[in-house]
Amino acid sequence: MEPMEPVEIPGEHPTPAEPPAPADFETLMARHAQLERQQRQNPDSLNTETIQALVAELRTLSASATGEERQALEAAQRRWTAFLELRQAMAANRRGGIPVWALMLLTVAGMIVIALGVSWMLRRDVTPTVPPPQISLADLTPTPDLTATALTQLAMPTSEALPSPTPTPIFQVLPTVTPAPTPEVAPPTATPTVAPHADPPGDVASLAGGQAVSAPPQGLDSLSCNIGGDTLILREALPPFTVSGAGDAARLTVWLQLAEPPPAQRTLTYHWILALDVDGNAGTGRPKGAGYINPDLGTEVGAGVMFYPDGRAEPYFYIWDSAQGDWASGARVPDIMEVTFTETRDAVAFSLPLAELSTAIQSLSGVTLEAAQLRGRIGTIASSDTVAAIVDFCPDLP
C-alpha cells in the first residue's frame, strides 16, 4: 500500500500577511502636503496615530535617502514631531492650566521645519511661487482661559498657502514697475548709562508655570547680559569674547554670557531667544502682554538661534509688520544679522547694523528706532522630547 500524501487543511497554517511595502519619496511627500492642507483647514481633524505613523515612515525612508530628498524628509519629520508636541502641550494645558506661552519653543521648531520643507518644494516648482508662509515668533500669548482652538491658531503659520504643483505656465509680458524709493533713516546713536546686567545664579525656572528648578541642566543659567534695566548697552562693556563690529558705534550688539557651557555630549535642544522694544513705547510693535518674553513691553524685533544636540545652529530674525499684525521674515526682512559664539557655546552675541535695521523697522513696523530707549530681554531655553522646557531670562521677568 502506497503511503498517503499529507493533506493540507485550509486554515490550519494561515499564510502570514505580507507587510505593506514601504512608501517611496514622492508618496510620502504628497501625504505630507495633504496633511498640511488638512491642518490649516481643520487641525482638530488630524488623527494622532496617523501623524505618528507618518513620522515613523519619514524617519525610516530618510535613513536610506541622500541629498535633497533626505533634507526634505528630515524637515517634514521635524515639522510633524513639533506638531505632535504642540498637541500634547495643549492637552496638558486643558488639564492643568499651563500658560500658553509654554508652547513658544514648539512653535519656533515648527517654523524652522516648515521653512526647510518649503525651500525644497520651491526648487521643484517650474514657475515663480508665492513666498513661504510667514511664521509668528514662538512667543505665545499667555491667556489663562484660552481655548484649545485659539491655541492651535496661535501655533499655526499665517494664512499664506504653501506652494503646490501648478499647471504648465502661460508667460505674459508685464509692464515694468519702478519701486518707490526707500526712505533713508539716519543711524541712531546712544550713550550707555547702565552697566551690563548681572543675572543671579540658580534662577532657572520651568517654562510652563515658572516654578523654580532645583537641579537645572548644564549650560542654561545666565551669568550676565548687556541689557540692564530699561537701557540696552550698545558698544561698551563688551563680553569676554571677540565679536566682529561690536565696538562699532554704527552697530547694535546684544550678548549673553552663561555661567557654564552646554555639555559637549547632550540630548537637549538649546534655544537662545531675543526680543527688543526699539522705541521704548509699549503701544507700538507686537502688543504689550501678547508675548511671554516681553509681557511689559511692545516688541518690534525678534531673533534667536536653535542649537540642536548634533551641533547644528539655526538662527532666525523677525521684524513686526504692523500692517499685517504679524511677524515678517524671510525675503521681507534684510539678511543683516550676524551671530557669534564662543567655541564652547558659553556666550552668544547678536550684531546688526543700525542704519539697515532702522530702515527695515521704519518700513515694516512704522516706528523709529530710538537707540537710547531700546529695551528687551534675552534668554536660554532647553528642552527635548522627554524633558519639559525650562528657561532663564536676563533680566528676569517683572
Whether 276 and 379 map to the same domain: the answer is yes
CATH number reported for the structural domain that contains residue 312 in this entry:
2.60.40
Section 213-219 average pLDDT: 91
Distance CA 157, CA 326 (A): 10
pTM above 0.75, yes or no: no
- Where a domain ends, among 155, 177, 209? 155
Whether 138 and 207 map to the same domain: the answer is no
Q: Give the residues across from 252 on adjacent strands.
A: 352
Whether 69 and 121 map to the same domain: the answer is yes
Section 308-331 average pLDDT: 93
What is the percent of the chain where pLDDT is above 90? 26
Does 76 fall in a domain?
A: yes
For residue 83, give the C-alpha cell: 506638531
Over 80: is that where the pLDDT of 113 sits? Answer: no
Whether 247 and 385 map to the same domain: the answer is yes
| pLDDT range class, residue 360, cuts 50, 70, 90 | very high
Does 340 fall in a domain?
A: yes
Q: Report the pLDDT value the prediction gives residue 107, as an integer from 0 to 100.
A: 60
Whether 377 and 238 map to the same domain: the answer is yes
Whether 141 and 258 map to the same domain: the answer is no
Query: Which residue in 150, 123, 119, 141 sits closest to 132, CA to CA?
Result: 119
Q: Could you identify the residue written with the cell 524671510?
A: 330
Whether 271 and 338 map to the same domain: the answer is yes
Does 77 fall in a domain?
A: yes
Whether 101 and 232 map to the same domain: the answer is no
Whether 207 and 127 map to the same domain: the answer is no
Residue pair 57/23 in contact by the 8 Å Cβ criterion:
yes
Within its chain, how far is the Cα of 368 from the centroid? 26
- Where a domain ends, among 140, 155, 170? 155
Does 168 fall in a domain?
A: no
Does 143 fall in a domain?
A: yes
Relative to beta strand 326-328, strand 313-321 is antiparallel
Distance CA 245, CA 227 (A): 18
Does 187 fall in a domain?
A: no
Q: Report the pLDDT value the prediction gives residue 276, as an integer from 0 to 100.
A: 92
Whether 68 and 125 map to the same domain: the answer is yes
Does 4 fall in a domain?
A: no
Q: Report the pLDDT value the prediction gives residue 112, as an integer from 0 to 100.
A: 66
Whether 358 and 230 map to the same domain: the answer is yes
Section 203-229 average pLDDT: 85
Does 184 fall in a domain?
A: no
Distance CA 280, CA 294 (A): 12
Q: What total of structural domains would you count in the chain?
A: 2
Over 80: is that where the pLDDT of 141 sits? Answer: no
Whether 203 and 145 map to the same domain: the answer is no
Distance CA 390, CA 201 (A): 15
Over 50: is that where the pLDDT of 256 sits? Answer: yes
Q: Report the pLDDT value the prediction gives residue 163, as an integer from 0 to 100.
A: 44
What is the percent of the chain where pLDDT is above 70? 63
User: In terms of residue numbers, what domain contains 274?
Assistant: 197-394
- Where a domain ends, among 137, 155, 173? 155
For residue 143, give the C-alpha cell: 491667556
| C-beta atoms surrounding 250 within 10 Å | 14
